[in-house]
């Protein structure tokens, strides 16, 4: 809860400082019980910063034992757009930082088995964003990097799989849809504004 309140306060403070703001949701994540929402702010026509927050709830089976999970995810993208036409649009490269925590509890009568997972990863990102003339946004992106930590723990102890080679690779893929508030004019690149 404290993390959510911190994120909301940060988004509200950013919104007063930037004229162009985009609100987005990942519909694929929503289908697979892990939706996330984000807000991207235009620092300049070619630089965007995007904090996000998500939730998850799904079932997992380990050694014929079913577990229910609940968790939160959060992170940050810093993006550089190479040839924007409407400000923070088209092809971009950047960096990301993402983390989260999940609680897993046995989903069977008579079992009190449970464990927690805490994770954090960072890396490089690539993507492309389309902005329609009505300010509707479609974005695809992905990234690859390294797990800073990925710790599983219960009452018996804990293990950090980020210490194991190959298992310390971090990555993500996202598809977002959203809406842009403010801005939307062609960047000062000498190009015509593309409309679709």
What's the pTM value of the predicted model, to 2 decimals? Answer: 0.79
Residues 129-136 have a mean pLDDT of 96
Confidence of residue 2 (pLDDT cuts 50, 70, 90): low
Among residues of the chain, what percentage have pLDDT more than 90? 58
For residue 38, what are the contacts with CB-CB under 8 A and spacing of at least 6?
Answer: 23, 24, 25, 26, 50, 51, 52, 53, 77, 176, 178
pLDDT at 4: 46
Token code pair at residue 38: 């984000």
Give me the chain's average pLDDT, please: 85
Confidence of residue 188 (pLDDT cuts 50, 70, 90): very low
The predicted-structure confidence for 140-160, as pLDDT tens digits, reads as follows 999 999 999 999 998 888 889
List pLDDT tens digits, range 49-64: 999 999 999 888 877 8
Burial of 194 (0-12, 13-18, 19+ CB in 10 A): middle
What number is the average pLDDT over the span 177-191?
66
Longest C-alpha distance within the chain, in Å? 69
Residue 192 has a pLDDT of 46
Distance CA 83, CA 124 (A): 19
If one compares 17 and 62, the residue with the highest pLDDT of the two is 62
What pLDDT shows up at residue 113?
84
**Over residues 65-75, mean pLDDT:** 91
Quick one: pLDDT band at residue 6, thresholds 50, 70, 90?
Answer: low
Mean predicted confidence (pLDDT) in 7-32:
72
């Amino acid at each position: 809860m404290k993390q959510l309140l911190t994120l909301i306060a940060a988004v509200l403070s950013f919104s007063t400082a930037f004229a162009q703001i985009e609100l987005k949701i990942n519909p694929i994540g929503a289908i697979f019980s892990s939706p996330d929402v984000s807000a991207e702010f235009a620092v300049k026509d070619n630089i965007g910063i995007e904090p996000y927050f998500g939730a998850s709830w799904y079932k997992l089976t380990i050694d014929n034992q079913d577990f229910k999970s609940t968790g939160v995810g959060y992170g940050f993208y810093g993006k550089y757009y190479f040839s924007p036409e409407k400000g923070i649009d088209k092809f971009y490269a950047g960096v990301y930082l993402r983390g989260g925590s999940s609680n897993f509890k046995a989903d069977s009568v008579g079992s009190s088995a449970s464990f927690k997972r805490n994770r954090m990863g960072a890396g490089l990102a690539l993507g492309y964003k389309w902005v329609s003339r009505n300010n509707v946004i479609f974005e695809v992106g992905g990234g690859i990097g390294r797990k800073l930590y990925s710790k599983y723990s219960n009452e018996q102890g804990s293990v950090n799989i980020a210490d194991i080679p190959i298992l310390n690779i971090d990555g993500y893929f996202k598809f977002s849809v959203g809406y842009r508030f403010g801005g939307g004019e062609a960047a000062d690149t000498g190009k015509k504004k593309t409309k679709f």
